Chain A
Amino acid sequence: GAGVSQTPSNKVTEKGKYVELRCDPISGHTALYWYRQSLGQGPEFLIYFQGTGAADDSGLPNDRFFAVRPEGSVSTLKIQRTERGDSAVYLCASSLLAGVGEQFFGPGTRLTVL
């Protein structure tokens, strides 16, 4: 498809486990963003990539969270030692032009930590 895709759509894990969430941006989009949405709230920024580099990771809650985008396309959000408070919907977005471009969102990954 032509849109942003995210896998898996749902992930259930146990407290303390490691998880990886994947994002495939729209082809040709150089800017990629991760957000996290808790129930009843708007999405909150986690990290922004311009190309391969993380231009801003100030939204990552702590050092258990890490994200990569090694070839400037697909990105993976990695969460170590998951906690129940990490349960949320993780949204990925991409944009053709940083700074003024419209952000297009994927369907999200719903993470549940038991």
Chain B
Amino acid sequence: KQEVTQIPAALSVPEGENLVLNCSFTDSAIYNLQWFRQDPGKGLTSLLLIQSSQREQTSGRLNASLDKSSGRSTLYIAASQPGDSATYLCAVLLGSQGGSEKLVFGKGTKLTVNP
């Protein structure tokens, strides 16, 4: 059974700091990996999608890497801002020969960026 773990569970940093969020998964047979942001009481906003054949993706101050063989992904946030405060969720897309597919999520890292 695929398990996704995110470390740390919570992180508090001063504004301007660069930071790394970690995600690990137990089964490397994934289609892709997505990083999401969730604000309190809100839905999920997709940040980055990395296909299983890719090593990294970048969007603005965000960079996500994927090492499928070791079951790890990192989300790097450069020059953090108070508006980056949210819970960040990592999810892997699993498939099956029967045509099913589903995202398996970690519990998230709650990030607080202090002014």
- Whether B106 pairs with A42 at a CB distance below 8 angstroms is yes
Contact of A42 among B32, B45, B46, B107 (CB under 8 A): B107
- The interface residues of chain B lying within 8 Å CB-to-CB of A107 are 42-43
Minimum Cβ distance to chain B for residue A79 (Å): 19
- The interface residues of chain B lying within 8 Å CB-to-CB of A44 are 105
- Whether A43 pairs with B98 at a CB distance below 8 angstroms is no
Taking CB as reference atom, which chain A residue is nearest B9? A40
The contact size tier of chain A is 20 to 34
- Whether B4 pairs with A56 at a CB distance below 8 angstroms is no
- Whether A55 pairs with B99 at a CB distance below 8 angstroms is yes
Contact of A33 among B36, B96, B99, B103 (CB under 8 A): B103
CA distance in complex: A4, B4 (Å): 25
Given contacts A44-B105, A100-B32, contact A56 B100 (CB under 8 A): yes
- The interface residues of chain A lying within 8 Å CB-to-CB of B100 are 48, 55-56, 58
- Whether A105 pairs with B46 at a CB distance below 8 angstroms is yes
- The interface residues of chain B lying within 8 Å CB-to-CB of A91 are 43-44
- Whether A59 pairs with B102 at a CB distance below 8 angstroms is yes
Task: Confirm or deny: A61 has a beta carbon within 8 angstroms of a beta carbon on chain B.
Answer: no
Task: Confirm or deny: A50 has a beta carbon within 8 angstroms of a beta carbon on chain B.
Answer: yes
Task: Confirm or deny: A66 has a beta carbon within 8 angstroms of a beta carbon on chain B.
Answer: no
CA distance in complex: A99, B37 (Å): 22
Taking CB as reference atom, which chain B residue is nearest A57? B100
- The interface residues of chain B lying within 8 Å CB-to-CB of A65 are none
Chain B 74-115 interface residues, beta-carbon cutoff 8 Å to A: 89, 91, 93, 95-96, 98-108
Pairs of residues from A and B, 5 with the lowest C-beta to C-beta distance, nearest first: A42-B105, A56-B100, A45-B102, A105-B44, A107-B43
List the interface of chain A (C-beta within 8 A of B).
4, 31, 33, 35, 40-45, 48, 50, 55-56, 58-59, 91, 93, 98-100, 102-108, 110
Provide 9 A-B residue pairs closer than 8 Å at the C-beta atoms, listed in order of the A residue.
Answer: A42-B107, A48-B100, A55-B98, A55-B99, A91-B43, A93-B44, A102-B49, A105-B43, A106-B43
